[in-house]
Structure 1
Amino acid sequence: MIMPALPEEIWRRRLESEYAEMRESGERFEANAALTEYTISLREPGLCREGGRIARRDSHSVKILLLRAYPYPGGIDVVWLTPLFHPNVREKDGKVCIHLLNDWAENQTVLSVVRSLKHLLEYPNPYDALNKEAADYYADNPDGVQAALAGQVAKPAEPGKPRIVFK
């Protein structure tokens, strides 16, 4: 299957426009010289696995790759680089599942992806999961998850369930 692609000159202008929008946004990021790879730093609460425990993590790193098919559907890839225990992020490789990528439209931007990632951290969707264990944990322990994300003291773990700890 051949993926659609913008003409080279228009694609380059689009990449420059994306970079300018990101610079003006105040988001923390680095981009490669070709403007096709962004490493985003997010300062939002999330959960990660530490050994057999679930811990709060407040800083995250995410890679956004703009493929040659960008800005068409299938032209963007998002990978979580730091450990994250989350229903919509596969633990083994950091693959991210958000509807924005599945329902991609040409008018969406790198900045809209960054904002969606922040929203995903705050509002995980355990019913559309890449990480079933995290989805089950979030669905079975909504109060504990919200308490952990809010920085409240965790209750002792129930037998056989991960304990939430704070850094």
Structure 2
Amino acid sequence: MFLPENIWRRRLESEHSEMRASGIKFETNADQTEYTLNLHGKGLAKQGDAIVEKDSHTVQIILLREYPYPGGIEVYWLTPIFHPNIRAEDGRVCIQLVNDWSETTNVLGVVRALQHLLENPNPKDPLNKEAGKWFAENGFTGGKAKKPRVVT
């Protein structure tokens, strides 16, 4: 399912304007279909066998031609992260918002959901099984991980 081209373009322009008005710093491509932005918040990353805290995260949101209908958005974590709901191999993000997408959801809502996901991982339904196990055993509270430890 696709919106007519002119309506789709207006929707993209509206999304871009709303993001600018939000004060969130981001970059887009010329078509306004790819957003790259930094999120700030406590997360974890692996450095060798150590798990360390990381405060700055780069994400990419891609609006496909099917946007704003279900299946019309892809979200990737570009910086290394150790998180149960982010696939380690390619940074693909699993958020319920993407799974339950509706045409009334917008890019700003996705950004807010990503911030929430960063600080509230769900180890019960992991894309990254190793991170899911670690988070289930060690927890993650208030956007701050318990003391990092070496994972073997």
Percent of paired sites with the same residue: 57
The answer to whether residue 99 in structure 2 is matched with residue 102 in structure 1 is yes
Alignment-mate amino acid for residue 97 of structure 2: L
Larger strand share, 1 or 2 = 2
Does residue 17 (structure 1) correspond to residue 14 (structure 2)? The answer is yes
Q: Which residue of 2 aligns with 1:49?
A: 46
Shift of residue 146, structure 1, vs aligned partner = 3.6
Cα offsets for 1:78-132 (capped at 9, x unmatched): 0000000000000110010000000000000000000000000111111111001
The structural deviation recorded for 1:134 is 0.2
The structural deviation recorded for 1:151 is 7.5
CA distance in structure 2 between the aligned counterparts of 1:39 and 1:28, rounded to whole angstroms: 9
Matched residue pairs, number?
152
Q: Which has the larger radius of gyration?
A: 1
User: Cα RMSD between the aligned structures?
Assistant: 1.7
Which amino acid is 1:42 matched to?
Answer: L
Runs of 4+ in 1 over 3 A off after TM superposition: 149-152
Q: Give the one of 77, 82, 87 matched to 2:84.
A: 87
**Contact 2:43–2:144, Cα closer than 8 Å, also in 1:** no
Counterpart contact for 2:43–2:145, Cα < 8 Å: no
1:150 to 136, 139, 144: 144
Q: TM-score, normalised by structure 2?
A: 0.94
Partner of 2:119: 122
Unpaired runs of 5+ residues, structure 2, are: none
Which consecutive unaligned segments of at least 5 residues does structure 1 have?
A: none
